[in-house]
């Protein structure tokens, strides 16, 4: 079993990644807080989710020397021509809180009818070890609610309703959310890739 460093300084995201990975039972998980010298600030200068995930993974691997994953996630709202997209985490500004971002999004959609509020979460994960760099992607389709609902999760969870459900991510328990989420689906794809790597290397 490999040792895998979850490369994110976002505590909520890192914990969610660990929770999902531990159910896959394919890696011993290390958290950033356990690694001395883990880079605290990695500029996300890419123009795509793939570029940002790659920048973070390369920086973390070269700094720590530990096999790692890093991800970037975007919320793409159709009525906003795909925004906030790559700027999802800083939609309301560089120092924006989760609440700031949600408020700006709901305001931007205030005159948009329910059937036009379609959106999706997209996660791209970059895996980096001594031999390779690989990518895995997960997408969750849904819509943006008209008001916030729920206290769980983080980010935009309180305004995102996944297809086939009437509740937001923030109203779901973690297990239910992780089973269908963009991040969960990306990690499922990553798990498939890692199993293939291990099979060929045995």
Q: Cβ distance 119 to 76 under 8 Å? A: yes
For residue 169, count other CB atoms closer than 10 A to its CB.
Answer: 29
- Whether 107 is catalytic is no
Catalytic residue among 71, 72, 107, 173: 72
Whole-angstrom distance, CA of residue 37 vs CA of residue 39: 6
SS3 state of residue 28: strand
DSSP state of 160: E
Q: Cβ distance 66 to 130 under 8 Å? A: no
Active site residues: 72
């Amino acid at each position: 079993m490999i040792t895998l460093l979850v490369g994110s300084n976002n505590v909520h995201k890192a914990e969610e990644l660990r929770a999902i990975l531990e159910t896959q039972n394919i890696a011993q998980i290390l958290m950033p807080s356990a690694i001395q010298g883990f880079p605290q600030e990695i500029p996300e200068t890419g123009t795509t989710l793939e570029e940002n995930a790659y920048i973070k993974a390369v920086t973390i691997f070269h700094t720590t020397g530990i096999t790692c994953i890093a991800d970037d996630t975007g919320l793409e709202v159709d009525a906003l021509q795909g925004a906030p997209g790559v700027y999802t985490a800083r939609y309301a500004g560089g120092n924006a809180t989760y609440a700031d971002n949600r408020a700006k999004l709901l305001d931007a959609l205030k005159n948009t009818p329910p059937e036009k509020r379609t959106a999706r979460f997209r996660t791209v994960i970059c895996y980096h070890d001594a031999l390779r760099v690989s990518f895995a992607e997960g997408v969750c389709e849904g819509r943006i609610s008209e008001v916030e609902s729920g206290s769980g999760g983080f980010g935009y969870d309180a305004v995102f309703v996944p297809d086939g459900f009437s509740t937001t991510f923030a109203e779901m328990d973690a297990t239910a959310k992780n089973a269908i989420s963009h991040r969960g689906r990306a990690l499922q794809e990553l798990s498939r890739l890692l199993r293939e790597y291990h099979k060929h290397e045995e």
